[in-house]
Structure 1
Amino acid sequence: MHYRHLATAGLLCLSLAGSTAQAQSTGQPIPLDTAVRTGKLSNGFTYYIRKNNEPAKRVLFYLVNKVGSILEDDDQQGLAHFMEHMNFNGTTHFPKNELIDYLQKAGVRFGADLNAYTGFDETVYQLPIPTDDPAMVSRGLDIMRDWAHEALLETDDIDKERGVILEEKRLRKGVGERLQQQTFPLTLNYSRYTKRNPIGTDSILNHFPASAIRRFHQDWYRPNLQALIVVGDVDVNKVEQQIRKQFADLKNPANERPRPEYKIALTGKNQFLTVTDAEVSNVALEMLIKHNADKLQTTTDYLNSMKRSLFNQMLAFRLGELSQQANPPFLGVNAGIGNLLGGLDQFSFSVTAKPGKLSEAFAAGWSQVEKVKRLGFTQPELDRAKTSFMTSLDAASREQSKVPSNSYVSEYQQLFLQGTPAPGFQWEYNFVKNALPGISLDDLKEVANDYIQDNNRDIFLVAPEKDKGSLPDSATIQSWFKQVAATNFEPYKESATDQVLLKNLPAPGKVVARKKIAELGIQQLTLSNGVKVWLKPTTYKNDQIQFISFAPGGINKYPNEDFPTASSASGIIGGSGLAGFSPLQLSKMLNGKSVAVGAYIGGRGQGVNGGSSSKDLETALQLVYLRYTAPRKDTVLFENAMAQSRQQITNRYTDPGNVFKDTVGAVLSGYHYRTSPATLARLDSISLEKAYDIYRDRFADASQTNFVFVGNFNTDSITPLLEKYLGALPSLHRNEKAVKIHTQLPKGNLIKTVAKGKEDKATVLLVYSGDCVYNTNNKLQLQALSEILEYRLLTSLRENAGEVYTPSVQGSMSKEPDQRYSINVSFGCAPEHVEHLAGLVQQDIDALHAKGATTDELQKFKAGYLKQYELQIESNEFWLQYITGKVENNEALKALPDMNKLLDAVNTTSVQAASKTYLGGQNSVRFVSLPEKK
């Protein structure tokens, strides 16, 4: 459960159809997709229902309320979000915490599945329900009904929740919140939004009377401000009947308060603010040019949104080109059109400067924006953007029968909250296909002129505290704008892109052996160069192929003096392009194709990974071949990357989180050289030539390489392509073996404290680790123990003590390079509560030692595990990881185990034994991050 600050930037892609000329001239209203059943009850309650089988046997319920923090009275600040919490703490049919308990037993996980959020203008509750049992669908509607109107709001439950909310608020503390507190008033033009941050204020959260939140609930939780969205594997008619029956008797208040539509008024003024903080790493200039947002209601509105999307795409490419020039004065530059809040959208521009280079960084970045406004884009740029736009839409079209339910939910949520149409994909596809060719360069120039204005500008200069005395003032920055405006720009010059990706086709190999694993639908091919290919055809996606390769070798083969270069080699060389093509040239050449291929060099191995559509598989295999045989080095890109890394290292420890993270890593690895943080000395030792040689060495021999392909393909039809490109990979038959580098686990019980930062908050990480016997049953017992301990900590630390927001327990077990386990318990809290909470954790562990798991805990774990497992195995990602893991660990590929039988071995006694084995206290480290002493 959480709250949201600002709407994220981005444009909604809609579906429209019909004549483009007619759409542009009349601006026809956008109709609703006929596949969604919608209605409104006499009390104003709205519903949207859609049948969708992705995933099968699942349904999503969302209760959407046009109720957020903006509606709070002065004495209610934070209570919209507080109310969201209270709906989980007691309703008519689920008093106290019975709702969470009931759903967990049905396989619904708290936080991951069952959740909610509160924003300025809305509160949304989400609930996924399995539909194997029809009674669960009815029960889901009961829960929605309770959330809509039946919160109990008992005084003792309210008082217990205060601590949880305050701890959630504490987690937000940090440099980001401090900066936001200063910039929000300007960004929001001192409107009501400025004073209605959803998390609220400490004074009200600590002391508000129960009557205040009951008043909020009575005023605003009412049917004419609510909608129920149901999407999934359900009978639409039956669900509609149940909704009409269960929600028709909800009543609006007798003298209901009007629900105002708050907006942020534009002032026409420009605003400037300098913000400094000791934890800010670099000097950055950020600018928002605010505009009244266009409503998205008609075909003309949608056409305009397409133009903005194309504009953003082309501007981003221009700025990307700028970033790849030699020694740019900035570390990063971004610009584009996006949503803001309160009826506004924005053109945003930001540039992060290298030390002492702010004026040059600004000039370099803003000149590109000014150049686009003045001269526009070129036809080749627009043609590429249109091709990319349509390629994405074509890919989505091929996956229409596989659209997940949550995508539809998002559409209907925006339809209810914003009136944003949801016309259905096919309508959108037809409209875009017809309208896209008619968008001209003049249209894009008009977008630039509309959005890049010289009023309603907010400029923020954000910098480290140490730089405060040397920062420019508003007048100086205004002079920079004038200097750019006075510049004469040369027209944009296109680089040639008509070259062939792979000019000389390699001599192909041949399949020399085949093996089938019938129970898994897998076929293994052995090619003449030694490469092995594992093929798993699936229908989880209509047009997706994913792949990965791996072979023994990796970074560990190189001595410590070469480690900095070896560990950076795949990033340096992989990011430099391929063959004779720079990354930007490659981007242009691959425009219009659904393909991506990258290379990696890990500790004990190396390979490539990527994916493509069916028609672009040959292009993907050409890229694979080039990743192995034609790496490219680029001095300019290397020097730029080193400059960025140098700045990151220099400023790394201004962030308290990095100090804590690096301390944890150092201690748990026994202060091993290869896991310790990067330093400037290490960075300076990195050599481009050596990185290139290491990369070539790692990919010089593919004879021990395994490739795994998963997706919608025919094994026989893709075999010639595999022979042509994978069979042509170099083969030296080195017979390499992975080098294992062992780290020393910390022995005994240790406490490590880090004092860094100014906020009054602590971060606690308890790590229990040791050697183990790695096998499937032990991994399952470890996971059961971890999840059951988390259930208990949610009760003891959050619900009972009220001193923690979200305790987390993560268990893991590894086979290589050593058979080891780790259980990490983590939470944030007030510094003064660390000892108390650590003691409560130990009490829960002791209770597991003494009595093991309860029947309820076992039921929750098994139900949740099964539901997740059923979803996971119906995905390409699962099978790619499963096959890769088995082959890489030299384990047999056989039919998936009967999960119900495996789970039968998880019982009270087994969890008790696991707790003694993995949480016995022989080796533990308590890491604590605290604020610096004042």
Structure 2
Amino acid sequence: MRYPRQQTAFFLLVLLGMLSGLLLLSPRLQAANQAPCLTSGWPHESSELQPDPSLVFGQLDNGLRYVLKTNHTPKNRVAMYLNVQSGSLRETEAQRGLAHFLEHMLFNGTTHYPPGTLVEYFQSLGMGFGGDTNAHTGFDETVYNLLLPTNGKDVIAEGFQVLADYARGALLLEGEVDKERGVILSEKRSRDSAASRVSKKQMQFDFKGSLVAKRFPIGLESVIKQADAKLLRSYYDRWYRPENIIVVVVGDMDPSMVEPLLAKAFSPLRGVGEVGECPDYGQVAEKGTDVLVLPEQELGYTELSLGTVFNEQPQAETKGWEEKQLKRYLGVHLFANRLKKMGEDPKSPLAQLSIHGGNFLNHYGVASLSGRVNNGRWREGLQQLHTALAQIQRDGFDQKELERGKREIMAMLRKAVQTSSTRDSRALAGEIIQKLNSQEVVLSPEQEMQLYGDTLKQTTLDDVNEVMQALWKHPRRLIEVVGIMPPELQGGGADDLVRDAYKTAIQVAPAPWVREKSGQFPYLTPPAELPGSWKKEQGNPAIGVQSYRLGQGVTLHIKPTEYQANQVALSVLFGQGKLAAPHKGMVLLAQDVVNGSGLGQLTKAQLQSQLAGSNLQLDFRIGAESFAFEGTALTGEFERLLQLVYHYLKDPAFREDAYLRSREKLEQMYRQMETTVVGTQQTLGERYLSGSRAEYTLATWDEVAAIDLNQIQSWLQPALFDAPLEINVVGDITPQQALELINRYFGNEKRMSPPITRTPKADFPFGATKHIQVVSSIDKALITVAWKTNDFWDISRTRRLSLLAAILDDRLRVKIREELGATYSPQVNSAPSRAHDGFGLLRSSLIVAPEQAETLAQTIKEVADSLVQQGVGEEELQRALKPILTSIKDIKEDNRYWMESVLKLSSRHPQQLVWPESILEEYAAIQADDVTALARQYLRPELAATVIISPVAAGKTDNLNP
């Protein structure tokens, strides 16, 4: 059972963002005395909890509410959100899909922005469509957002005008409705997948009897096809009204300057007609055992879940209520830790186990355990899920589990406090909206630390066990088997077989939970320190990068920043990565094995237990040119992160159980990919366009399956032990502090460079078209039209190619989305190769109806040829260029840019350390003629290669695929 995350508190969002496999849904219910369809006032007005003191709350005479907060990341920019507290649950039976349809229509003509002008206006300001301006529709909200390119008074006033037009200025012209209808149907098609279909049917099963089971935001195709301006207006007037709207503004601004501008834009707004009646959400059944057996071959795996859903009543928020929710979260978190351990057992019938627990949409409680079935062992898997639950119900958790969970949650709270000064304005605005829509008090990280920290200290084992008992006390049980069906579940009577298996499972008394030995970390002692043994090298003082040589074969680059407070990013690169892979199927499997094996003396579960209470994150990656350990930590935890890398390099593990789990997981992934057009493009399509180069394509499953564990170890171990290291540090740390710590662990290295692998030329099928069929019931095709360009290392050319891609993307948006309504989101990207001399791709991709694929592939070439024949106009150059210039200003104040684009592999490519000095000025100086010249060099129709991937019914392939 999987449910969209709705209205989740900031504290829990932080926790969820850092915990894989755990989803806590809608912890907050609306106050019992307020209708869920129309709220008023503020949650803190009826609670003893006080809101974040940095927030400015206000309300206009027409009922519109607003929240303002000063925040300086990104610098000189302001995030504006229009939160309409209405979504698909407010629709009538005849309106199913209109909330989402309206979201689209507000970009297609309002009082001050006629049809076809709004996106171009955003671009002229320096805002990218989709990145800096977007919207989303949920069950109970529709939210529009802008990220203004500057914080000038005029720009802020204009932003409010746009949002005010969304609120009450929709034109809803009939011709525009007809044009947008095709785009919405294209979006519905592009989002259709085996996973989305399964999720929808699971929600209909879980919430049978409720409105949730009938009101998915995408709506009904029949309604979308028949909707007209009058019907859209009926929903718009009923719910888009000032008393149902909250404006949230977070950014680098002074609220005293912003408030009068907001009042001027929104005070004239008035609702039309009456507010709609509050919908009856309905009740779910709370007794009985219900079974769902859902065959879906294209899902690629079998998933099993055991859960419960029950009705909950809204409650007023109090300190006591928050404390209870924290204890519930802590219990779910402890259960998740157990499931992770169970899923790593090579004998387990289930993998990728997870737990969901919390509240959904302020009306329903949910709890479920789920996992992917290994080798058809669903009966054993059902027994395992029941046993895990029965152990908790009978015995509860133990004290060590509780202590670990408390440390982990406290670490997250500490991180929230230590990083609060550089939180992103968009994320903050979104969190404020989620809290307000669930009638929660918006707290600061410091307030959350006080509230939740005190509660954690006082929480006992009995408290947590009691909360978990309450979560699972409800007698209704939902048992679901979805995806690939084992033979015994493919015929009639499958539900009864599953029901009987559950009856058998619950009759077995669970064995006691057995704790694994915890081990010790760190267990390797670094060599003796070598004070002052480093040698300072050139670096680039102009961009604040310091470079050093340590020991033999260790290069260090340090870029101190304050962009993300109290956070440090680390990368350790070595070897040649994909370039030196001895077999095509090696990369994905090897990467997963290292990440899943832990260390020589610690399994992955033991290592996670030892690291509990820290905010470390470290992953092993295999890139186009190198292997890498990439991680982040709070500044105070930086040495711990270095210790972890040191252990991976000195005592790596290649465990058989990790290898087997990785194979199982990858096989499931490939089964899923081979039934989707996107997955097939990644394997067969990209292979065709790039001459099988690993930089662009994935190996086939047969190639992956041929790799054994010894081959992986033989490939990676020499590089781990002997290859020279490039260590890069970016973040809130002094160079001296970073240098001394790194020298402690890596100053004694003696590493030698292996021979450099030569890069063979990559082929490209100029002028050819490849048709590939996919056995799939999903009615969508993928078109990719590509042109060969050049490699990465002429940076001026690379920058101009990225601008050319942006211009082609915009032309395709206008032609294929806006004029033809044939696709939802055309995408164009430039991908110059770092590893293959003289090779690069400029690709355009569209998801379309299969019957339109050939025609639209030709349309892409014609649009590209218009750039060749007519050249690039100055106005469209500026519309594409200005958002890029805005984004450059942002990325230069982001640690990821300095790590990914500047420092990584700069010891091999020292020109990277110079590029930041020219990036903004060089982009700004690009002329229309420069881009036109590239279009004429690369985008001629006869140079294009096309891949069309289309669905075909099972048993009807024409053997077109290689």
TM exceeding 0.5: yes
| Structure 2 counterpart of 1:49, from 28, 43, 68 | 68
Distance, in Å, in 2 between the alignment partners of 1:74 and 1:441 is 48
Match of 1:371 in 2: 391
Q: Aligned-pair distance for 1:607?
A: 3.7
Q: Deviations over 1:207-246 (max 9, x none)?
A: 2332111222222211111111111111201221222233
The structure-2 alpha-carbon separation of the partners of 1:559 and 1:281, relative to structure 1 and needing over 3 Å to count, comes to: closer
- In structure 2, runs of 5+ residues without a counterpart are 15-45, 957-962
Is the partner of 2:922 in helix, strand or coil?
Answer: helix
Q: Aligned-pair distance for 1:59?
A: 0.6
Match of 2:30 in 1: none
Which piece of structure 1 moves more, 505-514 or 863-872?
Answer: 505-514
TM-score computed with the length of structure 1 as normaliser? 0.92
| Structure 2 counterpart of 1:90, from 109, 113, 120 | 109
Q: Please say if 1:514 is aligned against 2:536.
A: yes
Q: Aligned-pair distance for 1:249?
A: 2.4
Q: Please say if 1:699 is aligned against 2:720.
A: yes
Q: Please say if 1:380 is aligned against 2:400.
A: yes
Match of 1:609 in 2: 630
| Structure 1 counterpart of 2:377, from 357, 361, 368 | 357
Q: Please say if 1:597 is aligned against 2:618.
A: yes
Q: Is the 8 A contact 2:585 2:701 kept in 1?
A: no
Q: Please say if 1:199 is aligned against 2:223.
A: no
Give 1:360's aligned amino acid.
E
Match of 1:13 in 2: 11
Distance, in Å, in 2 between the alignment partners of 1:842 and 1:650 is 32
Q: Aligned-pair distance for 1:151?
A: 0.7
Q: Aligned-pair distance for 1:203?
A: 2.3
Q: Is the 8 A contact 1:336 1:347 kept in 2?
A: yes
Q: Deviations over 1:98-146 (max 9, x none)?
A: 1211111111111122111112211110011123432100101111111
Give 1:302's aligned amino acid.
E
The structure-2 alpha-carbon separation of the partners of 1:500 and 1:912, relative to structure 1 and needing over 3 Å to count, comes to: closer
Is the partner of 1:139 in helix, strand or coil?
Answer: helix
Q: Deviations over 1:785-807 (max 9, x none)?
A: 11111111111111111112111
Distance, in Å, in 1 between the alignment partners of 2:149 and 2:582 is 53
Which piece of structure 1 moves more, 289-298 or 608-617?
Answer: 289-298
Q: Deviations over 1:18-73 (max 9, x none)?
A: xxxxxxxxx96322222111122222111111111111111111111112222223
Q: Please say if 1:301 is aligned against 2:309.
A: no
The structure-2 alpha-carbon separation of the partners of 1:472 and 1:580, relative to structure 1 and needing over 3 Å to count, comes to: farther
| Structure 2 counterpart of 1:776, from 795, 798, 801 | 795
| Structure 1 counterpart of 2:241, from 222, 227, 235 | 222
Q: Please say if 1:423 is aligned against 2:446.
A: no
Distance, in Å, in 1 between the alignment partners of 2:672 and 2:64 is 53
Q: Aligned-pair distance for 1:385?
A: 0.5
Distance, in Å, in 2 between the alignment partners of 1:65 and 1:905 is 41
Match of 1:687 in 2: 708
Is the partner of 1:377 in helix, strand or coil?
Answer: coil
Match of 1:19 in 2: none
Is the partner of 2:635 in helix, strand or coil?
Answer: coil
Match of 2:470 in 1: 450
Is the partner of 1:461 in helix, strand or coil?
Answer: strand
Q: Please say if 1:134 is aligned against 2:157.
A: no
Q: Aligned-pair distance for 1:503?
A: 4.2
Q: Aligned-pair distance for 1:149?
A: 0.2
Give 1:754's aligned amino acid.
Q
Is the partner of 1:580 in helix, strand or coil?
Answer: coil
Give 2:533's aligned amino acid.
V
Is the partner of 1:100 in helix, strand or coil?
Answer: helix
Match of 1:182 in 2: 201
Match of 1:67 in 2: 86
| Structure 2 counterpart of 1:629, from 650, 659, 679 | 650
Percent sequence identity is 26
- In structure 1, runs of 5+ residues without a counterpart are 17-26
Distance, in Å, in 2 between the alignment partners of 1:630 and 1:910 is 52
The structure-2 alpha-carbon separation of the partners of 1:777 and 1:335, relative to structure 1 and needing over 3 Å to count, comes to: same
Q: Is the 8 A contact 1:769 1:820 kept in 2?
A: yes
Q: Deviations over 1:666-712 (max 9, x none)?
A: 2123356998765676455433344334322112224x322111111
Q: Deviations over 1:503-545 (max 9, x none)?
A: 4332344534213532122211111323111111111122111
Match of 1:276 in 2: 295
Q: Deviations over 1:750-770 (max 9, x none)?
A: 232324312332221111114
Give 2:11's aligned amino acid.
C
TM-score computed with the length of structure 2 as normaliser? 0.90
Q: Aligned-pair distance for 1:247?
A: 1.9
Give 2:549's aligned amino acid.
T
Match of 1:403 in 2: 423
Match of 1:666 in 2: 687
The structure-2 alpha-carbon separation of the partners of 1:646 and 1:156, relative to structure 1 and needing over 3 Å to count, comes to: closer
Distance, in Å, in 2 between the alignment partners of 1:228 and 1:652 is 41
Give 2:136's aligned amino acid.
Y
Q: Aligned-pair distance for 1:176?
A: 3.0
Match of 1:620 in 2: 641
| Structure 2 counterpart of 1:292, from 311, 331, 352 | 311
- What is the CA RMSD across the aligned residues, in angstroms? 2.8
Distance, in Å, in 2 between the alignment partners of 1:167 and 1:5 is 24
Is the partner of 1:406 in helix, strand or coil?
Answer: helix
The structure-2 alpha-carbon separation of the partners of 1:279 and 1:734, relative to structure 1 and needing over 3 Å to count, comes to: closer
Match of 2:546 in 1: 523
1:22-41 residue pairs with structure 2 within 5 A?
29-41=48-60
Match of 1:336 in 2: 356
Match of 2:120 in 1: 101
| Structure 1 counterpart of 2:184, from 141, 146, 165 | 165
Match of 2:20 in 1: none
1:422-821 residue pairs with structure 2 within 5 A?
422-453=442-473, 455-464=475-484, 467=487, 468-469=489-490, 473-497=494-518, 499-509=520-530, 511-515=533-537, 517-554=540-577, 556-557=579-580, 559-560=582-583, 564=585, 568-602=589-623, 604-646=625-667, 653-671=674-692, 678=699, 682-683=703-704, 685-702=706-723, 704-729=724-749, 731-734=750-753, 736-771=755-790, 774-821=793-840
Is the partner of 2:298 in helix, strand or coil?
Answer: coil
Match of 2:29 in 1: none
The structure-2 alpha-carbon separation of the partners of 1:741 and 1:602, relative to structure 1 and needing over 3 Å to count, comes to: farther
Give 1:110's aligned amino acid.
F
The structure-2 alpha-carbon separation of the partners of 1:771 and 1:734, relative to structure 1 and needing over 3 Å to count, comes to: closer
Q: Is the 8 A contact 1:5 1:197 kept in 2?
A: no
Q: Aligned-pair distance for 1:742?
A: 3.8
Give 1:700's aligned amino acid.
F
